Amino acid sequence: MDGDMFVVGDVHGHRDELADALRERGLIDDADDWSGGTATLWFLGDFVDRGPDGIGAIKLVRELQRQAADAGGRVETLLGNHEILLLGVHRFGDEDVPSDFGPRSFARSWEINGGCEADQDGLTDELVEWLATRPMLACDGDHLLMHSDTLEYLEWGSSIDKINETVHDVLAGDDLSRWWDVWRRMTTRYAFRGPHGQDAARALLDELGGERIVHGHSVIADQLGIHPVDIEQPYLYAGGRVLGIDAGLFAGGPCLVVPLPYVPED
Protein backbone atom coordinates (compact mmCIF):
# COMPACT_ATOMS: atom_id res chain seq x y z
CA MET A 1 0.00 0.00 0.00
CA ASP A 2 2.70 2.52 0.93
CA GLY A 3 3.80 4.42 -2.16
CA ASP A 4 1.12 2.87 -4.38
CA MET A 5 -1.03 5.00 -6.69
CA PHE A 6 -4.73 4.63 -7.43
CA VAL A 7 -7.19 6.50 -9.62
CA VAL A 8 -10.98 6.87 -9.51
CA GLY A 9 -13.28 8.09 -12.27
CA ASP A 10 -16.74 9.61 -12.27
CA VAL A 11 -18.49 9.28 -8.89
CA HIS A 12 -21.65 11.22 -9.84
CA GLY A 13 -23.11 11.62 -6.39
CA HIS A 14 -22.63 8.02 -5.23
CA ARG A 15 -20.77 8.85 -2.05
CA ASP A 16 -21.46 5.59 -0.21
CA GLU A 17 -20.49 3.40 -3.16
CA LEU A 18 -17.25 5.36 -3.41
CA ALA A 19 -16.53 4.80 0.28
CA ASP A 20 -17.20 1.07 -0.09
CA ALA A 21 -14.83 0.83 -3.05
CA LEU A 22 -12.07 2.74 -1.26
CA ARG A 23 -12.54 0.55 1.81
CA GLU A 24 -12.23 -2.57 -0.31
CA ARG A 25 -8.83 -1.34 -1.49
CA GLY A 26 -7.74 -0.62 2.08
CA LEU A 27 -7.53 3.12 1.48
CA ILE A 28 -10.08 4.01 4.16
CA ASP A 29 -11.23 2.26 7.33
CA ASP A 30 -14.68 1.46 8.69
CA ALA A 31 -15.04 5.04 9.93
CA ASP A 32 -14.27 6.40 6.43
CA ASP A 33 -10.90 7.72 7.60
CA TRP A 34 -7.71 7.47 5.56
CA SER A 35 -5.83 4.21 6.04
CA GLY A 36 -3.75 4.31 2.87
CA GLY A 37 -0.51 5.44 4.48
CA THR A 38 1.75 7.05 1.88
CA ALA A 39 -0.37 5.97 -1.10
CA THR A 40 -1.52 8.46 -3.73
CA LEU A 41 -5.18 8.61 -4.75
CA TRP A 42 -6.37 10.60 -7.77
CA PHE A 43 -9.95 11.55 -8.65
CA LEU A 44 -10.58 12.54 -12.26
CA GLY A 45 -13.66 14.72 -11.69
CA ASP A 46 -17.44 14.54 -11.95
CA PHE A 47 -18.28 14.20 -8.27
CA VAL A 48 -21.75 15.69 -8.77
CA ASP A 49 -25.02 15.23 -10.70
CA ARG A 50 -26.93 12.02 -11.52
CA GLY A 51 -26.66 10.72 -7.94
CA PRO A 52 -27.97 11.51 -4.47
CA ASP A 53 -25.00 13.07 -2.68
CA GLY A 54 -22.41 14.85 -4.78
CA ILE A 55 -21.59 17.30 -2.00
CA GLY A 56 -21.13 14.38 0.39
CA ALA A 57 -18.66 12.82 -2.05
CA ILE A 58 -16.72 16.08 -2.28
CA LYS A 59 -16.64 16.46 1.51
CA LEU A 60 -15.39 12.89 1.91
CA VAL A 61 -12.60 13.48 -0.59
CA ARG A 62 -11.59 16.78 1.01
CA GLU A 63 -11.36 15.15 4.43
CA LEU A 64 -9.31 12.29 2.99
CA GLN A 65 -7.06 14.86 1.35
CA ARG A 66 -6.32 16.38 4.75
CA GLN A 67 -5.84 13.03 6.47
CA ALA A 68 -3.63 11.58 3.72
CA ALA A 69 -1.33 14.60 3.85
CA ASP A 70 -0.89 14.06 7.59
CA ALA A 71 0.06 10.43 6.91
CA GLY A 72 2.52 11.25 4.14
CA GLY A 73 0.11 10.27 1.37
CA ARG A 74 -1.71 12.30 -1.27
CA VAL A 75 -5.29 12.70 -2.40
CA GLU A 76 -5.60 14.82 -5.55
CA THR A 77 -8.50 15.81 -7.79
CA LEU A 78 -9.10 17.13 -11.29
CA LEU A 79 -11.98 19.19 -12.61
CA GLY A 80 -14.66 17.36 -14.55
CA ASN A 81 -17.21 18.86 -16.90
CA HIS A 82 -19.95 18.44 -14.29
CA GLU A 83 -18.02 20.57 -11.81
CA ILE A 84 -17.89 23.27 -14.50
CA LEU A 85 -21.65 22.88 -14.91
CA LEU A 86 -22.29 23.02 -11.16
CA LEU A 87 -20.20 26.17 -10.77
CA GLY A 88 -21.71 27.72 -13.89
CA VAL A 89 -25.25 27.31 -12.53
CA HIS A 90 -24.13 28.75 -9.20
CA ARG A 91 -22.65 31.83 -10.88
CA PHE A 92 -24.91 32.44 -13.89
CA GLY A 93 -28.15 30.53 -13.26
CA ASP A 94 -30.50 30.70 -16.26
CA GLU A 95 -28.79 33.68 -17.91
CA ASP A 96 -28.79 33.17 -21.68
CA VAL A 97 -25.46 32.36 -23.29
CA PRO A 98 -24.80 34.44 -26.41
CA SER A 99 -25.29 31.92 -29.20
CA ASP A 100 -26.38 31.48 -32.80
CA PHE A 101 -27.84 28.08 -31.94
CA GLY A 102 -30.90 29.06 -29.92
CA PRO A 103 -31.47 29.53 -26.17
CA ARG A 104 -28.73 28.10 -23.98
CA SER A 105 -27.91 28.49 -20.30
CA PHE A 106 -26.05 26.67 -17.57
CA ALA A 107 -29.31 26.03 -15.73
CA ARG A 108 -30.91 24.34 -18.74
CA SER A 109 -27.87 22.18 -19.40
CA TRP A 110 -27.65 21.30 -15.72
CA GLU A 111 -31.26 20.12 -15.72
CA ILE A 112 -30.78 18.07 -18.89
CA ASN A 113 -27.57 16.47 -17.60
CA GLY A 114 -28.79 15.11 -14.27
CA GLY A 115 -28.41 18.18 -12.08
CA CYS A 116 -29.38 17.62 -8.43
CA GLU A 117 -30.87 20.42 -6.36
CA ALA A 118 -29.14 19.12 -3.24
CA ASP A 119 -25.74 19.69 -4.85
CA GLN A 120 -26.55 23.33 -5.53
CA ASP A 121 -28.05 23.78 -2.06
CA GLY A 122 -24.93 22.31 -0.45
CA LEU A 123 -22.46 24.61 -2.17
CA THR A 124 -20.63 26.96 0.18
CA ASP A 125 -18.19 29.73 -0.67
CA GLU A 126 -15.39 27.48 0.55
CA LEU A 127 -16.44 24.60 -1.72
CA VAL A 128 -16.84 26.93 -4.69
CA GLU A 129 -13.32 28.25 -4.16
CA TRP A 130 -11.89 24.76 -3.76
CA LEU A 131 -13.60 23.38 -6.85
CA ALA A 132 -12.71 26.36 -9.04
CA THR A 133 -9.01 25.96 -8.26
CA ARG A 134 -8.69 22.25 -9.05
CA PRO A 135 -6.40 21.49 -12.01
CA MET A 136 -7.72 20.39 -15.37
CA LEU A 137 -4.77 18.10 -16.11
CA ALA A 138 -1.89 16.50 -14.28
CA CYS A 139 1.05 14.26 -15.08
CA ASP A 140 1.98 11.84 -12.32
CA GLY A 141 4.82 9.51 -13.13
CA ASP A 142 4.18 8.10 -16.60
CA HIS A 143 0.46 8.92 -16.51
CA LEU A 144 -1.25 11.90 -18.15
CA LEU A 145 -4.40 12.29 -16.06
CA MET A 146 -7.44 14.01 -17.56
CA HIS A 147 -11.20 13.96 -17.14
CA SER A 148 -12.43 14.13 -20.72
CA ASP A 149 -11.09 12.00 -23.55
CA THR A 150 -10.69 15.02 -25.80
CA LEU A 151 -8.00 17.05 -27.52
CA GLU A 152 -9.85 20.28 -26.70
CA TYR A 153 -7.56 20.89 -23.73
CA LEU A 154 -4.96 22.08 -26.23
CA GLU A 155 -7.18 25.05 -27.08
CA TRP A 156 -6.14 26.49 -23.69
CA GLY A 157 -2.41 26.01 -24.06
CA SER A 158 0.44 23.73 -25.10
CA SER A 159 1.53 22.70 -21.60
CA ILE A 160 -0.25 21.39 -18.52
CA ASP A 161 0.65 24.48 -16.52
CA LYS A 162 -0.63 26.84 -19.22
CA ILE A 163 -3.88 24.91 -19.66
CA ASN A 164 -4.55 24.91 -15.92
CA GLU A 165 -3.68 28.60 -15.65
CA THR A 166 -5.92 29.59 -18.55
CA VAL A 167 -8.97 27.77 -17.23
CA HIS A 168 -8.41 29.02 -13.69
CA ASP A 169 -8.39 32.56 -15.07
CA VAL A 170 -11.74 31.90 -16.77
CA LEU A 171 -13.29 30.47 -13.61
CA ALA A 172 -12.04 33.45 -11.60
CA GLY A 173 -13.88 35.82 -13.92
CA ASP A 174 -17.42 36.61 -14.96
CA ASP A 175 -17.29 36.16 -18.72
CA LEU A 176 -20.27 33.89 -19.42
CA SER A 177 -19.17 33.07 -22.95
CA ARG A 178 -15.71 31.94 -21.79
CA TRP A 179 -17.24 29.85 -19.00
CA TRP A 180 -19.60 28.24 -21.50
CA ASP A 181 -16.69 27.50 -23.81
CA VAL A 182 -14.98 25.53 -21.02
CA TRP A 183 -18.17 23.52 -20.41
CA ARG A 184 -18.71 22.92 -24.13
CA ARG A 185 -15.16 21.75 -24.81
CA MET A 186 -15.15 19.49 -21.75
CA THR A 187 -18.26 17.65 -22.99
CA THR A 188 -16.51 16.40 -26.14
CA ARG A 189 -15.19 12.85 -26.17
CA TYR A 190 -13.85 9.83 -28.08
CA ALA A 191 -10.67 11.50 -29.37
CA PHE A 192 -8.73 8.25 -28.97
CA ARG A 193 -11.19 5.86 -30.58
CA GLY A 194 -11.01 4.42 -34.07
CA PRO A 195 -8.18 3.99 -36.54
CA HIS A 196 -6.53 7.31 -35.71
CA GLY A 197 -6.98 7.12 -31.93
CA GLN A 198 -3.52 5.79 -31.19
CA ASP A 199 -1.92 8.58 -33.23
CA ALA A 200 -4.03 11.20 -31.42
CA ALA A 201 -3.03 9.77 -28.06
CA ARG A 202 0.66 9.68 -28.97
CA ALA A 203 0.55 13.28 -30.22
CA LEU A 204 -1.09 14.46 -26.99
CA LEU A 205 1.42 12.58 -24.86
CA ASP A 206 4.29 14.04 -26.89
CA GLU A 207 2.85 17.52 -26.29
CA LEU A 208 1.96 17.27 -22.60
CA GLY A 209 4.09 14.43 -21.23
CA GLY A 210 3.52 10.92 -19.96
CA GLU A 211 3.42 7.49 -21.53
CA ARG A 212 -0.26 6.63 -21.00
CA ILE A 213 -3.43 8.72 -20.86
CA VAL A 214 -5.88 7.92 -18.04
CA HIS A 215 -9.37 9.43 -18.37
CA GLY A 216 -12.95 9.24 -17.15
CA HIS A 217 -15.97 10.92 -18.76
CA SER A 218 -16.80 8.33 -21.45
CA VAL A 219 -18.46 5.26 -19.97
CA ILE A 220 -16.59 2.06 -20.79
CA ALA A 221 -19.82 0.22 -21.56
CA ASP A 222 -20.71 2.74 -24.25
CA GLN A 223 -17.32 2.18 -25.87
CA LEU A 224 -17.77 -1.61 -25.81
CA GLY A 225 -21.50 -1.75 -26.57
CA ILE A 226 -22.45 -3.59 -23.36
CA HIS A 227 -24.32 -2.74 -20.14
CA PRO A 228 -22.42 -1.06 -17.27
CA VAL A 229 -23.31 -3.92 -14.89
CA ASP A 230 -21.08 -6.16 -17.01
CA ILE A 231 -17.99 -3.96 -16.52
CA GLU A 232 -15.39 -5.43 -14.17
CA GLN A 233 -12.19 -3.62 -15.12
CA PRO A 234 -10.93 -0.49 -16.87
CA TYR A 235 -10.65 -0.28 -20.64
CA LEU A 236 -7.17 -0.24 -22.14
CA TYR A 237 -7.20 0.80 -25.79
CA ALA A 238 -5.48 2.86 -28.50
CA GLY A 239 -2.58 0.44 -28.61
CA GLY A 240 -2.23 0.51 -24.85
CA ARG A 241 -1.75 4.28 -24.80
CA VAL A 242 -5.13 5.09 -23.22
CA LEU A 243 -6.93 3.78 -20.13
CA GLY A 244 -10.62 4.57 -19.63
CA ILE A 245 -11.81 4.14 -16.05
CA ASP A 246 -15.43 5.39 -16.00
CA ALA A 247 -17.45 2.22 -15.43
CA GLY A 248 -20.82 4.03 -15.35
CA LEU A 249 -21.45 4.06 -11.61
CA PHE A 250 -24.60 6.19 -12.05
CA ALA A 251 -26.02 3.57 -14.45
CA GLY A 252 -25.35 0.50 -12.32
CA GLY A 253 -21.68 -0.08 -13.05
CA PRO A 254 -19.00 -0.54 -10.38
CA CYS A 255 -16.91 2.18 -8.77
CA LEU A 256 -13.46 1.26 -10.02
CA VAL A 257 -10.46 2.13 -7.85
CA VAL A 258 -7.69 1.39 -10.33
CA PRO A 259 -4.06 0.80 -9.34
CA LEU A 260 -1.47 2.56 -11.50
CA PRO A 261 0.40 1.43 -13.44
CA TYR A 262 -2.47 -0.72 -14.61
CA VAL A 263 -1.78 -4.28 -15.69
CA PRO A 264 -4.72 -5.97 -17.48
CA GLU A 265 -6.14 -9.12 -15.93
CA ASP A 266 -5.85 -12.31 -17.94
The secondary structure element, H or E, covering residue 244 is strand 242-244
Give pLDDT tens digits along the chain (266 positions).
667 999 999 999 999 999 999 999 999 999 999 999 999 999 999 999 999 999 999 999 999 999 999 999 999 999 999 999 999 999 999 999 987 677 899 999 999 999 999 999 999 999 999 999 999 999 999 999 999 999 999 999 999 999 999 999 999 999 999 999 999 999 999 999 999 999 999 999 999 999 999 999 999 999 999 999 999 999 999 999 999 999 999 999 999 999 999 998 76
- The span from the CA of 86 to the CA of 92, in Å, is 10
Instruction: Evaluate whether 214 touches 225 at the Cβ level (below 8 Å).
Output: no
Return the pLDDT at 101: 72
Return the pLDDT at 265: 79
**Parallel, antiparallel, or unpaired for β 235-237 and 242-244?**
antiparallel
In 3D space, the residue among 8, 11, 88 whose CA is nearest the CA of residue 46 turns out to be 11
In 3D space, the residue among 265, 266, 252 whose CA is nearest the CA of residue 12 turns out to be 252
Instruction: Evaluate whether 111 touches 73 at the Cβ level (below 8 Å).
Output: no
Return the pLDDT at 1: 63
Return the pLDDT at 116: 95
In 3D space, the residue among 2, 37, 133 whose CA is nearest the CA of residue 77 turns out to be 133
3-state SS, residue 43: strand
Return the pLDDT at 103: 82
In 3D space, the residue among 81, 49, 60 whose CA is nearest the CA of residue 15 turns out to be 60
What end-to-end distance do the CA atoms of the chain give, in Å?
Answer: 23
